[in-house]
Chain A
């Protein structure tokens, strides 16, 4: 794998971002709205709920972490979709670029764009609503790691779906985080869910993050074993997602879908 080729994919995204308000604004606009909305909701809940429980780290923290996950996922898919929108596949895939280098470039792009979003959220949530990340302590690192890895995995899966089913299938990709959220227990403990949903939740790495986060906020102990399992699971999803993308790429090269991509000949 050549780092310069992955860097080329990243550079392309950088050029696009640098010259486009339409691309820069979504990096933080919607998550800013989210933080403000949930910030006020948590303030209100703190005034009506029993004293002693602080909704800010539990709810606003959950929103922030979930938005970070969604930004990571969208960072990968948006970078991929730029090549769909500009009909650039033939130029890229007829070059020496390897799939691993292409995916690495998408991940680099996502790191940059999601970091912007995370920074804006951290500043806003702490400065305006008093969310203190010190309350999570060192656990913030595995929390973010799990969500980052799972965001990358889901982003690569989304890219594979669009590569396989054509440009119009981007419609499938945008709602993927929303589809996952009821199972991940972002706002409620997994014990709230019916048994069959709990089974699905245990297969999703973010559920370990949000369970752990609620334990920390409630002053309880966090299961490090569960968190390590979440990290391992997230790594496994990244590998699975990359495997899927490679398989889909092979399929579209074999069947001619890549060469006639805009025809959407499923």
Chain B
């Protein structure tokens, strides 16, 4: 991605400490318009903590987060009005129907022509036949589609997707990846994407950040990074980051 592109997300020196535990340790990165950035790392690496801080539900111990130049800490509401997210650990209320959920969240995000937008999303995510079904009775794959529809309600400039295809069958997962790529490319939206599926990451991400123990260890093109670090595949590189992070830290010989 070009360096001159305006950044939708700028994270600088981000740090989160819980007592003696450092969950995120000086993370800095940017996401540009139309760019899909993969945030990769083993469980407990600090990916979700980072996403929670970007979403303003967790206060950083240090560092700054800006969405389109707006400081999340100082102007949370303004920064989040052009952001949205979908995560497996944040399902929409199961006691509301699909349409009711989309309407409530559409109002929260200040979506104009909301009824029209809801109709478009029901069509796009193949949810029309489920519009009056309560979210709690949907399959996990259907719930994921509703969560993605909610994430697209406000046509966000920054989209945070935490394992968005984890509950989807291969066909739906591919469809979702294609949809997100089209959305990022067409709408100039920046996407931060976490996944443990390295095949998916290679297919969808323009750039990846490998995180381990709260620090960004590697950054680059997911299709070139493995060979640059003497690994056969992105999955091998992932396993190396998870098992021997020190061997991959710049300046420390493998």
A and B associate: yes
- Write the residues of chain A forming the contact surface with B, with a CB cutoff of 8 angstroms: 2, 4-5, 7-8, 11-12, 15-16, 20, 82, 86-98, 250, 253-256, 258-259
When chains A and B are docked, how far (Å) is the Cα of A81 from the Cα of B97? 19
What 1/0 flags go to B192-231 for Cβ under 8 Å of A? 0000000000000000000000000000000000000000
In the docked arrangement, what's the CA distance between A82 and B80, Å?
23
Which chain B positions have C-beta within 8 A of A95? 80, 105, 108-109
- Count the A-B residue pairs with Cβ separation under 8 angstroms: how many? 85
With both beta carbons as reference points, the residue of chain A lying nearest to B87 in the complex is identified as A90
Within the complex, which residue of B18, B100, B105 is in contact with A91, where a contact is CB–CB below 8 Å?
A: B105
A8 near B59 (CB under 8 angstroms)? no
| B104-A12 in contact (CB<8A) | yes
In the assembled complex, the Cα of A254 lies from the Cα of B57 at a distance in Å of: 8
- B94 near A86 with CB under 8 A, answer yes
Kindly identify, within residues 81 to 114 of chain B, every residue whose CB is under 8 Å from any CB belonging to chain A.
Answer: 81, 85, 87, 89-97, 100, 103-105, 107-110
Query: How far, in angstroms, from A54 to B106 measured CA to CA in the complex?
Result: 54
- Check B122 for interface membership: any CB of A closer than 8 A: no
- Closest Cβ of chain B to A11, distance in Å, is 6
Q: Give A171 to B90 CA distance when docked, in angstroms.
A: 25
Measured between beta carbons, the chain B residues less than 8 angstroms from A89 are 57
* Beta-carbon nearest neighbor of A89 in chain B: B57
Given the known interface contacts A8-B104, A11-B104, A16-B96, the answer about A94 and B56 at a Cβ–Cβ threshold of 8 Å is: yes
The closest CB in chain B to the CB of A6 belongs to B107
Say how far B168's CB is from chain A's closest CB, in angstroms.
20
Q: Are B78 and A4 in contact (CB under 8 A)?
A: no
Q: A91-B92, A253-B57 are in contact. List 16 more A-B contacts (CB 8 A).
A: A5-B110, A8-B104, A8-B105, A8-B107, A12-B93, A15-B96, A15-B104, A86-B95, A90-B55, A90-B57, A90-B87, A94-B55, A96-B80, A253-B59, A255-B18, A258-B57
B interface vs A, CB < 8 Å? Answer: 16, 18, 49, 52, 55-59, 76-78, 80-81, 85, 87, 89-97, 100, 103-105, 107-110, 150
B108 touches A5 (CB 8 A): yes
Contact of A253 among B58, B85, B95 (CB under 8 A): B58
Cα separation A87 to B93 with both chains bound (whole Å): 7
Chain A proximity of B212: nearest CB distance (Å): 20
Cβ contacts A to B, 23 pairs, < 8 Å: A2-B110, A4-B107, A5-B110, A8-B108, A11-B104, A12-B96, A15-B100, A82-B93, A86-B93, A89-B57, A90-B55, A91-B93, A91-B105, A92-B108, A94-B56, A94-B80, A96-B78, A97-B77, A254-B59, A256-B58, A258-B58, A259-B52, A259-B58
Residue of B nearest to A83 (CB): B93
In the complex where A12-B96, A253-B58 touch, is A96 in contact with B81 (Cβ < 8 A)? yes
Q: A253-B57, A253-B59, A258-B58 are in contact. Are A98 and B93 (CB under 8 A)?
A: no
Determine the chain A residues whose CB is within 8 A of the CB of B80 once the complex forms: 94-96
Query: Which residues of chain A are within 8 angstroms of B100 by Cβ–Cβ distance?
Result: 12, 15
Assembled-state Cα–Cα distance A20/B104 (Å): 18
What are the residues of chain A within 8 A of B108 when measuring CB–CB? 5, 8, 92, 95-97
Chain A residue with minimal CB distance to B134? A19
